[in-house]
Chains A and B, each alone.
Chain A
Amino acid sequence: MSDSTTSERSSRSYTRRQIVKGALGTGAVLGLSPLAAACGGGSSSSGSSGGAGGGSITIGSFSDPAMVPFRDVFLKKFTAETGIKVNYHETNYDAWFQNSKTDGLNKTGAYDIYVMDDNWVPEYAASGIVQSLDKLGLKVNPDILAKGLDQGYWPPKSGPRLQAFANDTPELFSLVIIDDVEILYYNKDYFPTAPVTWDDILNVAKTKSHPPSLYGWSPRGVAGNPIVQTYLPLLNSYGGNFANDDWSPGFAGPEGVGALERLFEFIPYMPSGIAAFDTSQETAVMLQGHCTAMTEYTGTAHVVDDPTQSKVVGKIDFAATPKQVKSGPAIGTFICGIASGAPNTAGAVKFLEWFTSSKVQKEFAGGGSAAVTGSALRDATLSAKYRWLPAIADAVDNSIPKPRTPDEPKMEDLLGTELNQALVQAISQKSGYTQIAQSHLTAAANQITAYLKQQGTYGF
């Protein structure tokens, strides 16, 4: 295996060999050895390598409303059907991000399965925190929607790659369990037919909305990750890219500027405080019946018919995110990896195969959750009950993945800060949208390029 050196750090090259074999990985980074998770934890995890018929597995996850059915219903079902006990640990998102990484880097084996957020996959796969599922012999259910499944491959099947992995064959390192993808939520009282393009949304906004009691669009505007989620369906639909195949930013050109200008066009029809809106605020506007449409991830889909949370029960319908030249929702799955030090890999593989099997996924969708298989999402009976399921399937098929790199959160932070500042400026200036969009997008593009260069792992 040859070392590839970057021009900047000749003595400190980041090669795949170093990452995967973890030669320097004294793991001293966090150097943490959560023996304690075994020592003090309520559920023991080590030494439980049973065969397929018994033993136990330990799953760790971050807490999220979308994980509730998984935790409360399906773990018990698995034990009932296979006899394998499941220990489930849940903690806050940030803490879990750290704890799982530590456990994996040091191979301490406190967990068999990590439930991960989608954008952890590049880092976890590249650093050997999770094992190759292909090598473990996991049989992938062909019923799983392809684009959701693809999120678990490393290096990614499409899109730009880290230089060290440029020529590797993609292997499956994590398996999707919930298809968290962006879809369009719209209030059918205002749309006689499902809207397809941005113009459709804009027309309804112009003709039917009357702020402040009824808005035409509700986005997340907080700087960083939230506003980027608002921007991506726009950017993708205009044919732009977060990152091109050579890692150059794909949003500072005419597509990106056009997409941002389109968002600015909605300003008269959006609540005035959107620069501070996150999911709760954005969704609240919709659920209170004050908005005609919005794009959001599928996690909030099921609350639209819950009378304790929604005033528009039965009125919200779902479709693919609007088109310009195409529809391009962002996708961010809940995805499972098997820990590098997992004590019971056989049990873990069995669990993953079980949970993603067509039968179990149908039951999962039967509770309204965003299942991952085509048969569950497109099932006629289930779709009648939960109208968002087929929309999820379409969205997944059209989805555009975000750039696969551990630096993706930083990229989102840089772009998101500029987007937010552009939005604030556009709202107060009310004109000059093109210039505002162009200057902020270009600034973000330059910052991202500079940062990637500083990291030294991209070949420039």
Chain B
Amino acid sequence: MAETAAPRKSREGWRGRFLASPYLLLIPAAIALAGVSIYPLFYGVRASVTHYLYGRDFGFNGLTNYRNVWHDEFFRQAMVTTAKYVVCAVTIETLLGLGLALLVSREIRFGGPIRVGLILPMTIAPVVVGVMWRLLYDSGVGVTDPLFQLFGASPPDVLAHDTSAFISVVLVDVWEWTPLIFLILLAGLQSLPQEPLEAARVDGAGRVRLFLDHTLPMLRPVLFVAITLRVIDAIGTFDQIYVLTKGGPGTATRLISIYAYNTAFLFTQYGQAAAMLIALLAMVMLLMIVAVRMMRKSLR
């Protein structure tokens, strides 16, 4: 990956060289990112060490918010539920997305409409997705009961029991976001240089070998991006769940986003909500740093 920026004869002289200077290319993006993140982060951290009571700021209170949050059983439960949710949903989405991308990446008729049809789920606003699936899962109105009856089972009231509600909610996420992984992996597959694959094929590699030994490794960076993005977004899932189950039944689908949202905006506990979210952010960031390091290492 080492390469120094030393353009040779440039048609456009010093301007071309300057404009393509590596750091200059980074500046607009750096400004944009700093603009939306520095103050919020600072503000969030400050809020997490402030005592808020009924919306009013009563000054610094050290780590009390963090301590309260740590002892809050609902916070711990929400973190566990979120972890379960993310692992289940993203795993299924990755496998399905990869399969779909492989299926569709060759030349097929109606490729355009098929591809658009496959990404339709993610074009609908998450709130509406939640509402529509609420109807679909509804005992009297939706298709789940008739579907089960078709197979001779008794209608399940999927949203009224802890486990089935959790699975239902994961399924909605899978339905809605597999297209994302599909899209990214498809683009990745389409961008792969063909010569190494051709060479391997010529050398007699079978389909499976080709995929495992050649395609997959080359796809790794893109796969990593897809999974990382999906994990981050899954952790913050809010709209669909809020409309589908509001976090219930009980606390079966109460993700951290819902609990933090309610804590901040319904119970007006800004300090504790900020502490929850900063703690979450720190944990996820740690995870990501480790993951990025691992990916970089594997590419060397």
Instruction: Tell me if chain B binds chain A.
Output: yes
Q: Are B270 and A284 in contact (CB under 8 A)?
A: no
Given known contacts A223-B248, A271-B140, A424-B250, A101 and B160 CB-to-CB distance under 8 angstroms: no
Query: Complex: how many Å from CA A94 to CA B161?
Result: 28
Taking the nearest CB of chain A, how far is it from the CB of B161, in angstroms? 7
- For B58, give the chain A residue with the smallest CB separation: A12
Instruction: From known contacts A126-B54, A455-B53, infer whether A410 and B139 are also in contact, taking CB-CB under 8 Å.
Output: no
Among the listed B52, B155, B157, which residue makes an inter-chain contact with A276, where contact means beta carbons less than 8 Å apart? B157
**With A223-B247, A273-B138, A424-B160 given, is the CB distance from A94 to B265 under 8 Å?**
yes
CA distance A406 to B265 in the complex (A): 12
- Whether B246 and A222, one on each chain, are in contact in the complex, defined by CB atoms closer than 8 angstroms, is yes
Known: A25-B56, A406-B54. A271 touches B265 (CB 8 A): no
Chain A window 290-327, contacts with chain B (Cβ cutoff 8 Å), 1 for yes, 0 for no: 10000000000000000000000000000000000000
| Stretch in A143-151, A245-253, A384-392, A413-421 touching the partner | A413-421
Contacts of A26 in B (CB 8 A): 57
- Which residues of chain A are within 8 angstroms of B268 by Cβ–Cβ distance? 123, 406
Binary flags per residue of A398-417, CB closer than 8 Å to B gives 1, else 0: 00000000110110010001
What is the total number of residues of chain A having a CB less than 8 Å from a CB of chain B? 52
Q: Is A345 an interface residue (CB 8 A)?
A: no
A12, B51: Cα distance in complex, Å = 9
Complex Cα–Cα for A127 and B250 (A): 32
Q: Is A113 in the interface zone, CB < 8 Å from B?
A: no
Give the distance in Å from the alpha carbon of A126 to the alpha carbon of B54 in the complex: 9
Residue-wise interface mask of A (253-287) relative to B, using a CB-CB cutoff of 8 A (1 in contact, 0 not): 00000000000000000011111101001001100
Least Cβ–Cβ distance between A103 and chain B, in angstroms: 12
Rounded to whole Å, the gap between the CB of B271 and the closest CB of chain A is 10
Interface residue from B55, B141, B157, B250 paired with A223 (Cβ < 8 Å):
B250
- Selected from B58, B61, B141, B249, the residue in CB contact (under 8 A) with A24 is B58
In the bound complex, how far is the Cα of B55 from the Cα of A410, in angstroms?
14
Q: How far is the CB of A384 from chain B (nearest CB, A)?
A: 33
Complex CA–CA separation, A105 to B53 (angstroms): 13
Q: Is A19 an interface residue (CB 8 A)?
A: yes
Give bound CA distance, A143 to B249, whole Å.
43
A454: Cβ under 8 A from any B Cβ? yes
Does B251 interact with chain A (Cβ within 8 Å)? yes
Interface size bracket, B side: 35 or more
Q: In the assembled complex, which residues on chain B have CB atoms less than 8 Å from the CB atom of A18?
A: 56
Q: Does A224 reach chain B (CB closer than 8 Å)?
A: yes
CB distance from A42 to the nearest CB of B (A): 24
> Is A174 at the interface (CB under 8 A from chain B)?
no
A24 to B54, CA, bound (A): 13
Nearest residue, chain B, Cβ from A212:
B140
Q: Are B52 and A29 in contact (CB under 8 A)?
A: yes
Q: Are B53 and A101 in contact (CB under 8 A)?
A: no
A114 shortest CB reach to chain B, Å: 14
The 8 A CB mask of B53-72 against A (1 = contact, 0 = none) is 11111110100000010000
- Indicate whether B262 reaches chain A with its CB closer than 8 angstroms: yes
Give B139 Cβ to nearest chain A Cβ, in Å: 4
**Are A409 and B246 also in contact (CB < 8 A) when A123-B55, A223-B251, A284-B140 are?**
no
- Residues from chain A with a CB closer than 8 A to the CB of B269 are 410
Please indicate the chain A residues that have their CB under 8 angstroms from the CB of B157 in the complex.
Answer: 272-273, 275-276
Enumerate chain B residues within 8 angstroms of A123, measured Cβ to Cβ.
54-55, 268
| B148 in contact (CB, < 8 A) | no
Most A C-beta atoms less than 10 A away, residue of B68, B165, B266: B266
Cβ–Cβ < 8 Å partners of A126 in chain B:
54
- What's the minimum C-beta distance from A84 to chain B, rounded to whole angstroms? 31
State whether the Cβ of A68 lies closer than 8 Å to any Cβ in chain B. no
CA distance A417 to B246 in the complex (A): 11
Known: A274-B160, A454-B68. A409 touches B248 (CB 8 A): no
Question: Which residues 72-119 of B have a CB within 8 angstroms of A?
Answer: none
Is B234 part of the contact surface with A, judged by Cβ < 8 Å?
no
Query: In this assembly, does B178 line the interface, its C-beta being within 8 Å of a C-beta of chain A?
Result: no
Point out the residues of chain B lying under 8 angstroms from A28, CB to CB.
Answer: 57
Please measure, in the bound complex, the distance between the C-alpha atom of A275 and the C-alpha atom of B158, giving whole angstroms.
10
Min CB–CB distance B187 → chain A (angstroms): 35
Chain B, Cβ-Cβ closest to A280: B134
A457 in contact (CB, < 8 A): yes
A62 at the interface (CB under 8 A from B): no
Distance of A454 Cα from B272 Cα, bound (Å): 12
Q: A417-B251, A420-B250, A424-B250 are in contact. Are A276 and B51 (CB under 8 A)?
A: no
| A29-B251 CB under 8 A given contacts A98-B265, A409-B267 | no
Chain A residues lying within 8 Å of B250, measured Cβ to Cβ, are 223, 417, 420-421, 424
Nearest-Cβ distance from residue A267 to partner chain B, whole angstroms: 12
Q: How far is the CB of B279 from chain A (nearest CB, A)?
A: 18
Q: Are A223 and B249 in contact (CB under 8 A)?
A: yes
State how many angstroms separate the Cβ of A63 from the closest Cβ of chain B: 14
Q: Mark B248-275, 1 if CB is under 8 A from A, else 0.
A: 1111000000000010011111100000
| Chain B neighbourhood of A222, CB < 8 A | 245-246, 248-249
A355 CB to nearest chain B CB (Å): 28
B189 at the interface (CB under 8 A from A): no
A428 to B162, CA, bound (A): 12
Asked whether A29 lies within 8 Å of B165 as measured between CB atoms, the reply is no
B186 in the interface (beta carbon within 8 A): no
Say if the beta carbon of B159 comes within 8 Å of chain A.
Answer: yes
Nearest A residue to B73 via CB reads A447
A97 within 8 A of B: yes
For B155, the chain A residues whose CB sits under 8 A away are: 272
Q: List 8 A-B contacts (CB under 8 A).
A: A19-B54, A24-B58, A123-B54, A222-B245, A224-B246, A275-B249, A406-B268, A409-B266
Given contacts A272-B160, A413-B267, 5 further A-B contacts (CB under 8 A): A18-B56, A29-B57, A29-B270, A410-B267, A428-B161
Residues of A participating in the B interface, judged by any CB pair closer than 8 Å: 12, 14, 18-19, 22, 24-30, 94, 97-98, 101, 105, 123, 126-127, 221-224, 226, 271-276, 278, 281, 284-285, 288, 290, 406-407, 409-410, 413, 417, 420-421, 424, 427-428, 454-457
